[in-house]
Amino acid sequence: MQRYTATYVRDKFPWIFQCIQNSSDVEETREILYKKVTDIQYTFSSKNYEDISATQSIIVRDCARAFRSLLAKRSEEISGISFPKILHDIAHGVIRDDLQEGFFAELAHLLHGLSGSPQFTIKTPSLCGDIKGREAAVIRSQELDEISTTMDAYISRYETGLSEQAVERRISRKAHILRTLGADDAQWNDWHWHMQNILKTPDDIKKCATLLPDEESALRMAYHNTIPFAITPYYASLLDDDPQAQRDLAVRAQVIPGMEYVQEMRKYAQGDAQSLDFMREADTSPVDCITRRYPRVVILKPFNTCPQICVYCQRNWEIKPAMAPNAMARKDVLDRALQWIRTHPAIKEVLVTGGDPLALGDSVLMRILQAVAAIDHVECIRIGTRIPVTLPMRITDDLARFLGSLRQPGRREVCVMTHVEHVAEVTPEFVAAVNRLKTNGVSVYNQLVYTFYVSRKFEAAALRTLLRKCGVDPYYTFVMKGKKETDAFRVPMARILQEQQEEARLLPGLHRTDAPVFNVPGLGKNYVRALQNRDLVAIKEDGARVYEFHPWEKNIVERESYVGEDIPILEYLAKLQALGENLQDYASIWYYY
């Protein structure tokens, strides 16, 4: 990988620093650079098409836009970082020990793009000259075949839970777990047995799964510091006996906390747990068990735990240990929440989540959902759950029929919002659970949390493609939240934009119905496809981009925007390289803003 330093940038792009060498102060530097960048963009936009490709022209435009945004005084005020001051210092020979390689990498690629020389290969088009009609169509069709073949080659790298090899390994894993826990197939197929045998200690997990030394160390530290973790016996059967093969990388990362996570969580042990409330749910909860961020939708949280704990859980500040006995809301508290919904006719949709509501027994779950369905103005009930992934045998015929019975076509819809992260989680048991729901008219949607462990080339595309075969519709792709304890899971915004454009866009329409979103604290989902929803306002000393996210209601009511810090692209690429990825596959990442 190229090394990026102040010397590299000065030698490669002398023109940007020469124009401000004689500026007297930062304000003059800002003015000179703004004019310089605008002139460059104008020059490129005025060239004939023969002189510059469409891609070059667009990248120059995007880089110029980003550069001007970094120069803006407003950007400086809301981020606390002065981009023109940094460039002024570099031009005047001021030593800035605070600037790291990640910053110079961002600056170098920004200037490469502005110069019309982006650092990635642009394929020469197949069609040229005066070729028209059928001949052109045949050439274009051949080109599309090549693109599809390339995509299939990437997708085939990721083994699904439906492959013959994976099924065989997991049958063996299941047998080992049953022997260890002294159970049989009948018990395995009974979801109650799994609930009674959740793996909640390092020793429980070690008996049923192969752990790497650092995984065991992190689990033991988490256990001694009462940091929740848990794995269902079924999900433990998805863990490989050969973790070095990295087939189950995304699976393990979800349920085995890393040392960085544990160490960060320890810092909160003696402090205020709500300091972990990244989404400011405490500020958007008008009554207990209710969260409201939108006019017509509320979140109802009757049950505050899950049979399995996700390491990157959004609600780690309030989620109880797995299946904790005090996780269920008291009847009077839940009744008040339901009454609050009744008295707010603007509410048309209720998302029942938690915790995982499908971890409740049938009688309790039915009572809650029937109470919601009895509210006249509720037109849609959504159920947020990972049960189809972590405990698919819980989706019994009786449960599926009950959920289907709550539907009233033309009057009320019932949907299951699940969370599959990787094709390795799509097993025959998952497919059967989804089919039971679909057979009873219950729609199933997937919400993908776009973590580092699912961000390789075409990895998410592989999941979308497989889910559609199972009857699951892609719904949202979530940008990882900026929670310090989950930094290891985070992916730069630019990678998500790149994935959506260069990978997801190649899929058929029904495979790519999900929308990439960033959940803005206190405000809700912010779409990230359109530039009008955010601005790049700074590049930190380590190369992390800083974005201003505009609230969804910005043109309706006056609302403060949210300033959030990304993770450095260079750092992300180094992690990919450590996994053996070819960084040329990701070279265009720098030019997504």
Tens of pLDDT, residues 410-419: 999 999 999 9
> Which pLDDT does position 579 carry in this prediction?
96
Rounded-to-integer distance, Cα 101 and Cα 541, Å: 9
Residue 535 pLDDT class (50, 70, 90 cuts): very high
* Residue at token pair 């793009």: 113
Residue 271 pLDDT class (50, 70, 90 cuts): low
* Residue at token pair 């200690």: 201
Q: 95-109: string of b/e by CB count within 10 Å (b at 16+)? A: eeeebbbbbbbbbbb
Flag whether pLDDT at 252 surpasses 80.
yes
Flag whether pLDDT at 483 surpasses 90.
no
Closest CA to 105 of 567, 588, 569, 487: 569
> Apex CA 351: angle with CA 529 and CA 360, to 5°?
130
The token pair that represents 282 in the structure block: 């405490």
Flag whether pLDDT at 272 surpasses 70.
no
> Apex CA 326: angle with CA 324 and CA 331, to 5°?
135
- With a CB cutoff of 8 Å and minimum separation 6, the contacts of 31 are none
> Which pLDDT does position 530 carry in this prediction?
81
0.85 exceeded by pTM: yes
The token pair that represents 546 in the structure block: 């800083």
> Which pLDDT does position 269 carry in this prediction?
66
Rounded-to-integer distance, Cα 174 and Cα 196, Å: 16
Q: 38-56: string of b/e by CB count within 10 Å (b at 16+)? A: eebbeebeeeeeeebeeeb
Report for 453-467, 476-490, 499-513: range of highest mean pLDDT: 453-467
SS3 254: helix
Flag whether pLDDT at 387 surpasses 60.
yes
Tens of pLDDT, residues 298-338: 999 999 999 999 998 877 767 778 999 999 999 999 999 99
Flag whether pLDDT at 292 surpasses 90.
yes
